[in-house]
Amino acid sequence: MPPRISQFRSASVLLVRRKPVHTAKIVNVRVVQPARGFAHQKDLPVAEQPKGPNQEQLPHVSEEAAAMGKITGEGGPDLDQGTPVQELMKRDEKAQDKAPQVLQDDLNTTKPKGSRSYSTSARRLQDAPLIEMEDAEVIPEGAKWPLPALPLPPNANLKYRYDPVVQQVTNLLMKDGKLSVAQRNMAHILTYLRTAPPPQPTRPLLPSAPPPSHLPLHPILYLTLAIDSIAPLFRIRSQRGVAGGGAALQIPVPLGLRQRRRQSVEWILDAVSKKQSSGSGRNMFATKVAQEIVSIVEGRSAIWQRREGVHKLGITARANLTLGRRR
């Protein structure tokens, strides 16, 4: 049977029950402060505290000494010329013993008044007079930089802003018309030559070549020296029917400066193409070219034997020049 509900217990429960208490909601009221005005609208408050140590700086030691000398009448240091080191060292005997021999000799000798070989100037930078440039370039109105002087130099054109050797080698490095890739390889070659250790040449380079220790400091000169050192003076041209009959004679033909450099760069690229790859990446080709240039300057490259072979063949075939002219 279900339990019966006690009437007394239920009544007591109803009497003890309280009414629910309603809590008031707290509303956050944001106080909007007025915007701060500018400094010229209202005077800023003045601090009542004393000034800090960095607000009132003491004068310079030489300026303080000059002011004291003016008060006492003894005469202080000259702020325009500074205090000579000799006058400071005369007051300190220990400094005289440790001073350089030049200053010790200067202390023992007497000099006329007003001569100051060594001076520690105490003038401040803000007190120094401004230097007026009489020959300053005048920038015209509407221009950011002054106009160049006329006539323009030959390398002032945008197309000829690079070194001639760098421009020619870059064009020879270019493949499929990708100039940006060739320029990136050229930049890597020059960086490799700049950071490489000084070479040790074993073959005679050009007569006007700088010392080997100076070559890494000038990578463009480094590149030019390597190319001009192996550049042949002439090329061998085969010509038939000169001496009569169908035999071909070899005739040496002199080359110009750009032709000689082009031939040497083609030899370098041919030697690089036969080398094995020592790594991977887009700078692998440029690294092999730079290593070949270093080996040329050091005399370890096989291009030197190739150049000597062309010169020997040209000297042997120089007798055929008279036959080639008759035609």
3-state secondary structure 266-290: HHHHHHHHCCCCCCCCCCHHHHHHH
pLDDT over threshold 80, residue 10: no
Q: What is the pLDDT of residue 213?
A: 92
C-alpha distance from residue 201 to each of 121, 128, 297 (Å): 51, 54, 6
Q: What is the pLDDT of residue 185?
A: 95
- Higher per-residue pLDDT: 75 or 327: 75
Q: Determine the Cα–Cα distance for residues 58 and 52; give it in Å rounded to an integer.
A: 12
- Report for 54-58, 92-96, 272-276, 286-290: range of highest mean pLDDT: 286-290
Q: What is the pLDDT of residue 182?
A: 95
- Higher per-residue pLDDT: 69 or 6: 69
Q: Determine the Cα–Cα distance for residues 70 and 275; give it in Å rounded to an integer.
A: 83
Extract the tokens encoding 234: 């002439």
Local structure of residue 177 (DSSP, 8 states): T
Q: What is the pLDDT of residue 119?
A: 47
| pLDDT digits 0-9 by tens, 100-117 | 887 788 777 765 555 554
Q: What is the pLDDT of residue 122?
A: 45
**Residue 281 CA from chain centroid, whole number:** 26
Q: Which of 5-9, 208-212, 261-265, 282-286 has the lowest mean pLDDT?
A: 5-9
Mean pLDDT score, 158-174: 90
Q: Determine the Cα–Cα distance for residues 244 and 248; give it in Å rounded to an integer.
A: 9
Q: How confident is the model at residue 85 (pLDDT cuts 50, 70, 90)?
A: confident
Burial status of residue 222 (CB atoms within 10 A of its CB: 0-12, 13-18, 19 or more): buried
Q: What is the pLDDT of residue 68?
A: 83
Output the CA torsion 54→55→60→61 (10° steps): -60
Extract the tokens encoding 212: 């080997």
Extract the tokens encoding 127: 């007190």
Distance between first and last Cα of the chain? 143
Q: Determine the Cα–Cα distance for residues 89 and 108; give it in Å rounded to an integer.
A: 12
Q: What is the pLDDT of residue 191?
A: 95
Q: What is the mean pLDDT of the chain?
A: 78
Residue type (1 letter), 183: Q
Mean pLDDT score, 90-97: 79
pLDDT over threshold 60, residue 9: no
- Higher per-residue pLDDT: 29 or 292: 292
- Residues 259 and 232 sit within 8 Å (Cβ to Cβ): no
- Residues 318 and 252 sit within 8 Å (Cβ to Cβ): yes
Share of the chain above pLDDT 70, in %: 69
